[in-house]
Every structure is written in structure tokens, then in C-alpha cells.
Structure 1
Amino acid sequence: MPGAQVAITEVHMFDSLRLHYGLKVFQSYKWSFIMVVALMVTETAVSLSVPYLIGQQSQSFLQEVTILNNNHLKYLYLWVALFAAQAALRFLSTYNVNLVGARLMAELSCRLYDHIQVLPIQYFQENKRGDVLSMLTNDLAVVSFFASSVLTNLIPNILVLIGAGILMYMIEPTIALLICFLVPLIYIILKLVSRGMQPISRALVQRQADSLAQASENIGAISLIKAFNKEEAESSKFKRRSNEILALRARQFRLQALLSPLIQFLASLCILVVVIMSVLKFNSGALGIPDLISLLLYGIVFTRPLGSLAGLYGQLQQVIGASERLLHVYHLESEPRDEHGTPMTIEHGDIVFDSVAFGFPQRGTILKDVSFHLKAGQNMLIYGQNGGGKTTMLHLLMRFYQPATGKILIDGQNIQQATTASLRHAIGLVSQDVLLLNGSIFDNLTYGLANPAADDVYKAASQAGLDHLIMRLPQGYDTQVGEGGVRLSGGQRQRIALARALLMKPKILLLDEPTSMLDEQARLSFKEEFHGLFAQFTVIMISHDPTLSDVADVVYQLENGTLQRQSIRSDYQE
């Protein structure tokens, strides 16, 4: 049964991960948890003292004819003081536990966001953006609600059950033992009724993630949807997912709605049995009026937490589904750590690929034994069919991916032994799919720098041929580009990306399809500007168009995962 063995192993892994993170959380908030638990214990002690005092002092009210005398008022003042103390303790415990829950979830949100940021690029290529957003919103919200409510309800309810059981045993052992028998019976019925809750909760979490993923994808591709008149089809698809979520929620709510009244009903039957037993004990003289009143009050106290615990059981099933997704992401390996890396100092930009191979699990081998030497200051073009691995080579150089075999050297330094921050700081990447933030042109130009000098920004914009375009805009550098740069043309976005890379003053420039968004005139202009602009950099261009070879010093064709040299300019021949 290998499949069953794997399933059992995964369950044990998630259980150990939950325990591991639970212990880390407790260590971080140890004193806060201790304070909250102390408040809850004190509140429970006060709550449990009230039925006992009322029962024992009721004898005084029953024996004396006077309606209210000083002795009665003393008892009433004591009860009011206990009620006030209970309310104050409940306020303090509820406020503090919710505050701890809010602080805890703020920290978990930041930790999850930080962890997601350091995951390899491959994770984001294999997972929908909506799934990631769902974890940061829906899944964390479920865990947050559970973390802040479970401590508020679970601990006091358990303490009330235990305390009431002990006190009832002290008053009448037979009745207490009867209750101890009935409570596990209620729990068994609870398990039988709610055994379908966990699969529903898991399916609901996934459906919510799918729905958010679709909405996120459609909003990002709204122009495509409009261009192909797909609004109605996408609306139907979203409505179908929403109806699936609604159906799952209806099943979940039906189970949750059933649990609480069912437990309340069973608990009430148990209390009825207790009342009958108490009356029989009283009639036989084995139980006095004060003890009888205390027992009845403790019976009422005992039923209250059972209904709450039934609701918490349903919430527990929800949080299990959400936590499994979160823990799965936490368990993923992040990008290589830099603890043992050496900061890389790149002075020239000499690049060597030495027998580099790489592949994806889904696509197999992409690059086979790729080797080349690009001298500092040279410009290299790599052309080939789309999907042949050209962009993958750039990503290997940026350490977005790790080579399966071989090594990459810059100025004689193995990039695998360098810190990623120092490596990426020395390389300017201009991607084909230009990513712009929802801000001004100036914000996007200076994204990679903390305190850029305005003159440097203007110079980089001029070098990228962007300044005359910006000056024609009504707000100049303060022009808002919209989400993803939607308010700009493809050529404008590409020039912003180039200026942003130049502003980093790198030694190496990587250009992914640099003319793909330019018209014919802009392509000719790009070629004319090329030598003057890039003479101070080591440049690697990749393109499916070999016509850029007239501006390159070295030209390679990437075909079937291997590089084939096409030409080299005479002034760079060895």
C-alpha cells in the first residue's frame, strides 16, 4: 500500500509542522499567553464560585421570614461584586486575547509575505497569482479568526466543564459520575454527525482560491476579454465557481447549524437526567436544599460551554484546511540563502558559461552543455525560436534558477558562491514583459534605488530615449502609469524599463526582446543609438529576430538546447 503510506507520511509531516509553528508562536508570545490564561483562570474561578455561594446562602433566604434584611443585603452585595468582577475579568481577557491574536496574525502575514517573496521564480510560474493572494487573505483570515476566538472560548469553556464537574462531584459524586459518562457520549455523537466537515472545508478553501485566481487573471487580461467579446463567457464561468462555493458553504452551514442545537439538545437531556437524580436524592434526604440549588445552577453552567465547543469543532475543521495550504507553502524551499555567500565585486563584466545544463520537471531538458565566453564590453545576440530557452539563460545568470550541471562565472567568480543581492545589483535586466508599478513614471524609474539623484534620473531617461516622450506628457515625470503601466504604450514601457536598468549603473545589461514592442522606425533608431548607448556595458540580447546581429559583436543561435556561433566582428576576433 505505497499510496496509503505516502498519505500517512504527509499527515505526520503536516502534524509535525503544525506543532513546530505552534511552539514557535508560543515562544514568541509566551508572557502574553500566560497573562491571558491567568485572566481566564481567574474569571472561571469567579464564575464557578457564584453557583456555590448562591446555593449555600439560599438557606438563609428560605429560613428567614423577612424579605430583605441586612444579612440578605450582605449576600446581595457579595453577588453583585462577583458579577462585576466576572464582567471586568471577561473584558480584560477578551481584549487581551483579541489583541494577542491581532498581533500574531500581523506577524504571520508578514512572515508569509516575506517567505513568498524568497520562493524561486519557478513557484510563481507553476501557481496562479490568485492562489497566492487567497493564502494572504482567505486562509490567513480563517486562521486569524480561529486564533483569536479559540483562546477566547476554548480555554474558559474547558475550565468551566472541569471546574463544574469537580464541584458537582464534591456535592454529589453519583451525579457527577453520571455526567462524566454522558459527556463522552455527546462527543461521540458529535464526531459521527460532523465527520463530513473536514472534506467540505478543504474543498471550500480550494474553491475560494480558484475563484480569486480567476478574478485576478481576468482583471489583468480585461483588454483581451473585451477584444474577443468574452465578457458573458467569463461571467458565466465566475458565476459557476461562485455557485460551487455557495453550495459548499450551504453544506458547511447546515452541519455547523446542526451541531450547536444538537449538542444543546443532548446536553439538556443530560441535565434533565441530572435534575431527576437530584430530586430523587433530595426526596431521600441525601441532598439538602443548598446543595440541590448549587447542583441545578452548576448543571445550567455545564450546558453553556458544550454548545460553544460544538461550534468550535466546526471552526477547527475550517482552519485545518487553511493551515495545510499555508504550511505547504512554508515547507517549500526558498531561493538559496546568502549566509555563506561572498559579496561579488564586478569590475569588468566578463561572462563565462561552462557546460551549463538546465531543465524543468514538466518540460524536460531545456539547455544542454551550453558554453561560451563573452569578454567585458562585448555585445552578444542569442536568437532562436520562442520557448527554446533564451530567457532561461538570462534567468540563470540572474540566479532565478540554478543550473543542473556546469557553472557560470563573472570576472572569474562563480555566481553560485556569491550573494544574490551583490550579483543582481551588478546586472541590469530589461524583460520582454515590462513590469511597472501603479505609480508615477519617476517612481518606476527609481524603483531600484533608495535615494536617487534627480540628475541621474534625467540622464538615464535621456540615454534610453525617454526624455522627449516624458516632456510631451501633461504631468511629465509625475504622470501616473496605471496598474502594470496600462496608460503607456508598449514602447514607452520598454524604454522606462531600460532607463530603470541604466540608472542602476550595472556592469552587465540583459535585454530580452529589446525591439519587440517598437515599430520599424523605432527599431532603426534603436540600432543607431545602440553602440553609443551600450559601449560601456557587457550586453546580452536575446531575440527571435536575427536582424539585430548587425549591432552585435558575437552572435549565437540557440537550437535544440545548444548554442551555435554564427559570427564575430573582426575587431573582436581572437
Structure 2
Amino acid sequence: MFNNLRFYYGLKVFEFYRWSFVLVVSLMLAETAVGLSLPYLIGQQSQAFLQEVTNLNSSHLKYLYLWVGLFAAQAVLRFLSSYNVNLVGARLMADFSCRLYDHIQVLPIQYFQENKRGDVLSMLTNDLAVVSFFVSSVLTNLIPNVLVLIGASVLMYLIEPTIALLICFLVPLIYVILKVVSRGMQPISRQLMQRQADTLAQASENIGAISLIKAFNKEDDESTKFRNRTNEVLALRAKQFKLQALLSPLIQFLASLCIMAVVIMSVLKFNAGSLSIPDLITLLLYGIVFTRPLGSLAGLYGQLQQVIGASARLLHVYHLESEPRDNGGEAVHISQGDIVFNNVTFGFAQRGTILQDISFHLKPGQNMLIYGQNGGGKTTLLHLLMRFYEPAGGEILIDGYNVKQATTRSLRGAIGLVSQDVLLLNGSIFDNLTYGLVNPVADEVYKAASQAGLDSIIMRLPNGYETQVGEGGIRLSGGQRQRIALARALLLEPKILLLDEPTSMLDDQGRLSFKEEFHGLFARFTVIMISHDPTLSDVADVVYKLENGTLQRQQ
């Protein structure tokens, strides 16, 4: 069902460009028709030149003008077809790139936990670039070359069937040789795509962890690792280039042998009187026309193996199920924030069950603390509420709605999540505070910043709210990033707030300030806090300890 749906969407993309394809194919057919008519006209009209060996006359000039006109028409048609097919290919790849990006965004959180960020970036860059080049450039030559091969074979058959049948026998023979010689191309291409992804993944990871690398003086080691990966890519490319470089001259050589056989056969037929001079010239010209596409198709075969390696990775991602979206769900209206977990069970394939029969009822306006050891499943519990994961058993209700039957947009729109690992965009503080808002109101932004204890901090910065945070918020302290995340969540005006280790990046004074401000700040929300530190229990209405996958009520 899923594959059929993807195929349907692929057809919809091509359907959108159907008239562009009609134009391109029409231009290619016209160019091929002109190109195939030239050898025939030159060959058949050569009789006039052979019969009248005197000076050029008006009859000769008429033929020459016709040939020049056809040459010009072929050139114009080739320009138009090449330009349009490249343009359509570029537009298709732009669409596919956007669709791939859209699909990646709706993949489950687990996909991003199990795959390197560099692998994803490699698909959006290297793999799509290979496919894009193949569609927009390589296929530009494929269709005309195939049409020329078919057209030349048919026209040669009409002139001399024996010679045409000889060619039809030799061409598959060349293809078999080509297949044997290039059988190692596809595995190399797949390895190359993976090595390129690994190299990009390492670079992405190292840039994100540059402070760690510098702190432990690992620059030289990381450079060595990167150089080794790059050398692996270079070695695979060398093998790929060697095979690609071998294919074209090999096919050209085999094609030349085939043409020699055709010439010999043509001469024998001419000597036997079954071929006229114009037919002989026409056959020889078609033989020349026939060899050029074979050389191009040899290079195409090598590039085809490369694009198969790239497309295999892309198709694998396209075939992954996306997280539950809004199709068929109910757009729920959460107005209270009443949360119920009924015997919820969840686990990962690699780790087994980590939450077992979790049950609790958190009434609207209450706040709850769940504490326990790191890695015990506390963050996973919050992610279940957000539908980042689906429970293996039990049910989760908010205001009586089963979250499994709610649209993710309506569900997540009612929940504000403040993660332990705060994610900030590379922009200003104001941009990060208003992320997710359609029409932000400045006064409301300043109010939320003040409520989160951020306003006084921002006023001490040189550029205030326009201060650039850097990629991932690297220019701010951990406490500043966490308060931005809190203010950002408050601006969404949710009914439920989820706080993941809310004081982990705060100093002692900050923790004390957080506790003092807690009830005034969060009184209008249903709040779930998770922490490895139980000292927050003095601000919580309900306290649970998560241990061995089960919840134990503390107060």
C-alpha cells in the first residue's frame, strides 16, 4: 500500500510536467527525423553528382541548399530539445528534492536516532546530485541516441535486410561484452555513495563537537580520520573512473569492428550487383551514424550503475513509514489539560521494554515531577505524550481524547515542550523566541521573556533581542538557551507544559529562582517535569519515581 502510494505521487509529479515532456519528445523526434533523413538524402542524391561530374549547376546547388537547411534545422532542434530536457530535468529534481525533504521531516524520531545526520545530508546533496545529473544531462543523450539506433536500423533494413540483420546480431553481442566488463560498477557505486555519506557525517559531527575536539587536543586525530575516509572515497572513485574510461573505447572499438563487417558485406553486395551506388553510400553513412550512439551509450551504462547506487539509498528512505500524521485523525480541541496514562507499555527493539504498565491521572492545573536515573525512560514518556513514539500497549488520554486518534498538529499545538537539549536556530534571540508563531506581537514576546527570567539577561547583551545566537545557540550559555526555550513554549499558550530537566543548566542561584517563580509562572498549565534530581519535589503537586520501567508514587 505504501509503495503504491509513493508510486502514485511519483506519477503525479510527472503528470504535472506532461506537456513539457510532450514538447521535449516532439523536439527529439523532429531532430531524429532530420538527422536520419540526411544520410538518405545525401546517399540517394549522390547519383546526380556522380552522373554530372562537370561544374556545379543549379541542380547541384539545390541539393546543397537543402542539405545546409537540414543541417541548420537539426542544430536548432538539438538546441531546443537539449535546453528543454535539461530545464524539465532540473525542475523535476527540484520537486523530488522538496518531496524528499518533506518526507524526511515526517519520519519518526527513531529514524534520526538510528541514522547519522551526515547520511541524511548526503542524500539531500550527493545522492540527489547524481540522480539530477543523470536525469537532466545523461538522459538528454539517451532518448535521441536510442531513436537514432532504432531509426538507422529500420532504414538500413529497408535498403538491405541482410546487413540490417547483421547489425541487429552484433549490437546485442556488444551489450553482453559490456555487461561482463562492467559487472563490478554497481557495487563500487554503492560503496562510493556510502563512503561519501560517512565522510560528510564525520565532518558534520566534528563541526558540531568542535569544542570537545579542541578541549581534548584531538584535531590531528580527527584530521587523520577524515583524510583516511577521503582516501577511501578517492580509491573507489579511481576504480569507478577506470571502468568508465575502459567502457567507451572498448565499445568504440567493437562498434568499429561491426562497421567494418557491415562495409565488407556492403561491398560484397555491391560487387554482386544487388546494391546500387546511392544505396551503398546511404548504408555507409548510416553505419557512421550508427556508431556514434553506441559510444555514448557505453558511457551511459557506467553512469547508470552509479545512479542505481544513489537511487537505492533514496528509495530506501522513501519506503520508510512516516510518523502518524493528520490523515484520518480527529482535530481535537484541548482546553483543560487533563492527562491520563492507562497501562502504557513501550520499548525499543535494541533495548527491550523500558516502560511497563505506566498509569497515572494528572488533573488540569496540577504539576507532576517524575525523577529517576538517567536512561530510565523519563524523556521517552514525554515523547509518548507528544506522539513522537506510539505505545506498544495501553492508552494515553488528554481531555478524554485518545492521542492515537488525534491529529498530531492539534495535539502538539496544545503542548509546550522544553527539552533538555535546547535546539536554537542560527538567528537572533527574537527569531528563536517567535519560532512557531505566525504573527508574533512584540509586547507578548517581551512579556514571555520576562516571565521566563530572560528579559534582564537580554537587556545586558549588546544588541538585545537582535543578538545572534549562532548555530545551535553556541554563543549563549546553557542557562540562557534553556530560558529561551521556556519563553518560546510560553508564547505558544499551550494547556500542557513538558519540562525535561528544567534546572540542569542553571546554577544554584538559578535553581532557587526557578523554584521561587514556579507557582506564579506555571499556575495556568498542567505541568510534567522530569529530572534525575528529586529536590524539585517541593514545588510539585504529585511526585513519582521511575525505576525499572515502573512508576512509584512518592507523594
TM bracket, shorter-chain basis = over 0.9
Tell me by how many angstroms 1:19 deviates.
6.9
- Please state if 1:232 is matched with 2:205: no
Tell me by how many angstroms 1:22 deviates.
5.9
- Please state if 1:199 is matched with 2:187: yes
Task: Work out which of the residue numbers 329, 347, 358 in structure 2 matches 1:341.
Answer: 329
SS in 2 for 1:370: strand
Matched-pair contact (CA < 8 Å) for 2:355–2:549: yes
Residue-pair matches, total:
555
Distance, in Å, in 2 between the alignment partners of 1:428 and 1:23 is 39
Deviations 1:277-301 (A, max 9, x none): 2222223332222111111111100
Q: Which residue of 2 aligns with 1:530?
A: 518
Matches within 5 A, 1:87-98: 87-98=75-86
Distance 1:15 1:171, change over 3 A: farther
Q: Which residue of 1 aligns with 2:496?
A: 508
- Work out the percentage of aligned pairs sharing the same amino acid: 84
- Please state if 1:211 is matched with 2:199: yes
SS in 1 for 2:359: strand
Matches within 5 A, 1:120-269: 120-269=108-257
Task: Work out which of the residue numbers 51, 54, 57 in structure 1 matches 2:45.
Answer: 57
Q: Which residue of 2 aligns with 1:444?
A: 432
Distance, in Å, in 2 between the alignment partners of 1:18 and 1:566 is 50
Equivalent AA in structure 2 for residue 399 of structure 1:
R
Unaligned runs of 5+ in 2: none
- Please state if 1:321 is matched with 2:303: no
Tell me by how many angstroms 1:479 deviates.
0.5
SS in 2 for 1:450: coil
Q: Which residue of 2 aligns with 1:369?
A: 357
Deviations 1:504-563 (A, max 9, x none): 111111100011101111111111111111111111110001111111111110000000
Please provide the CA RMSD for this pair: 1.6
SS in 2 for 1:177: helix
Tell me by how many angstroms 1:174 deviates.
1.8
Distance 1:178 1:15, change over 3 A: farther
SS in 2 for 1:51: helix
Matched-pair contact (CA < 8 Å) for 1:18–1:327: no
Unaligned runs of 5+ in 1: 1-12, 568-574
Deviations 1:71-126 (A, max 9, x none): 11111110010001101111111111111101111110111111111111111111
Task: Work out which of the residue numbers 332, 338, 344 in structure 2 matches 1:356.
Answer: 344
Q: Which residue of 2 aligns with 1:9?
A: none
- Please state if 1:389 is matched with 2:377: yes
Matches within 5 A, 1:405-554: 405-554=393-542
Distance, in Å, in 2 between the alignment partners of 1:274 and 1:413 is 78
Matched-pair contact (CA < 8 Å) for 2:6–2:318: no
Tell me by how many angstroms 1:199 deviates.
0.7
Matched-pair contact (CA < 8 Å) for 2:108–2:389: yes
SS in 2 for 1:402: coil
Task: Work out which of the residue numbers 88, 99, 120 in structure 2 matches 1:100.
Answer: 88
Equivalent AA in structure 2 for residue 396 of structure 1:
L
Equivalent AA in structure 2 for residue 175 of structure 1:
I
SS in 1 for 2:554: strand
Tell me by how many angstroms 1:15 deviates.
10
Distance, in Å, in 2 between the alignment partners of 1:184 and 1:418 is 58
Distance, in Å, in 1 between the alignment partners of 2:169 and 2:404 is 64
Distance, in Å, in 1 between the alignment partners of 2:182 and 2:4 is 24
Query: Scaled by the length of structure 2, what TM-score is found?
Result: 0.97
Distance 1:22 1:402, change over 3 A: closer
Task: Work out which of the residue numbers 21, 30, 35 in structure 2 matches 1:42.
Answer: 30
Distance 1:16 1:271, change over 3 A: farther
Deviations 1:134-178 (A, max 9, x none): 111111111111112343111111111111111112222221121
Deviations 1:418-462 (A, max 9, x none): 111111111110000000000000000000101011110000000
Tell me by how many angstroms 1:66 deviates.
2.7
Matched-pair contact (CA < 8 Å) for 1:17–1:327: no
